[in-house]
């Protein structure tokens, strides 16, 4: 039976001795692993590296802007050599005033946000899914005349 309460699911895992918790968040694979002093949160990206020329280099170049945007909560990009999947890794450490559950939830929120951004950017780099340009709410002719609804 699937849990509808993420907090309860997380707490049940923390109370168990299981080394990993496998999740599907918004259709993507997420893994929580116990490590010394915290939990390693991992999110799989939709795109993997299958030897495409330049994709690995392009992915690595995106790491610096990611660091600038997400700062101390920046996930590390990794490549699983077994299947060529890209993963984002972020460690949830225990803060002095925070519970481990709160740290993991904050880590997961940051990780999923980054996963969505990375997926979009890597899809563009790989020549996959294109996003439509934002369309203005009002036609250009109306905006030029200053007529707004």
Q: What is the pLDDT of residues 72-124, one digit of tens each?
A: 788 889 888 888 889 999 988 765 556 778 888 888 999 999 999 989 988 88
Q: State the pLDDT at residue 136.
A: 40
Looking at per-residue pLDDT, the higher value among 126 and 121 belongs to 121
The string of pLDDT tens digits covering residues 15-53 is 999 999 999 988 899 999 998 878 899 999 998 877 777
- Mean pLDDT computed over every residue of the chain: 77
CA distance 70 to 44: 18
- 5-to-2, 10, 84 alpha-carbon distances in Å: 9, 9, 32
What phi and psi values does residue 86 have, to the nearest 5 degrees? -85, 140
Q: Is 84 left (phi over 0), alpha (psi -120 to 50) or beta?
A: left
The pLDDT confidence band at residue 146, using thresholds 50, 70 and 90, is very low
Computed on alpha carbons and rounded to an integer, the radius of gyration of the chain in Å comes to 19
CA distance 3 to 26: 15
In sign, the C-alpha dihedral spanning 78, 81, 85, 91 is negative
Looking at per-residue pLDDT, the higher value among 6 and 136 belongs to 6
Cα–Cα nearest to 107, from 76, 75, 80:
75
Q: State the pLDDT at residue 97.
A: 57
What phi and psi values does residue 98 have, to the nearest 5 degrees? -105, 150
In sign, the C-alpha dihedral spanning 60, 64, 65, 71 is positive
Cβ atoms within 10 A of the Cβ of 15, count? 8
Q: Which domains does the chain have, with CATH numbers?
A: 6-144 (3.30.1460.10)
pTM for this entry? 0.74
């Amino acid at each position: 039976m699937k849990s509808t309460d993420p907090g309860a699911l997380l707490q049940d895992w923390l109370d168990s001795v299981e080394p990993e918790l496998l999740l599907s968040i918004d259709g993507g694979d997420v893994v929580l692993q116990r490590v010394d002093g915290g939990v390693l949160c991992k999110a799989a990206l939709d795109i993997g590296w299958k030897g495409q020329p330049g994709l690995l280099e392009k992915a690595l170049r995106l790491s610096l802007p990611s660091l600038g945007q997400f700062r101390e909560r920046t996930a590390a990009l990794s490549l699983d050599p077994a299947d060529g999947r890209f993963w984002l890794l972020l460690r949830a450490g225990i803060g002095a005033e925070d519970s481990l559950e709160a740290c993991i939830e904050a880590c997961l929120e940051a990780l999923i946000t980054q996963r969505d951004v990375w997926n979009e950017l890597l899809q563009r780099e790989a020549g996959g899914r294109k996003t439509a340009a934002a369309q203005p709410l009002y036609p250009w002719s109306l905006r030029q005349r200053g007529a707004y609804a």
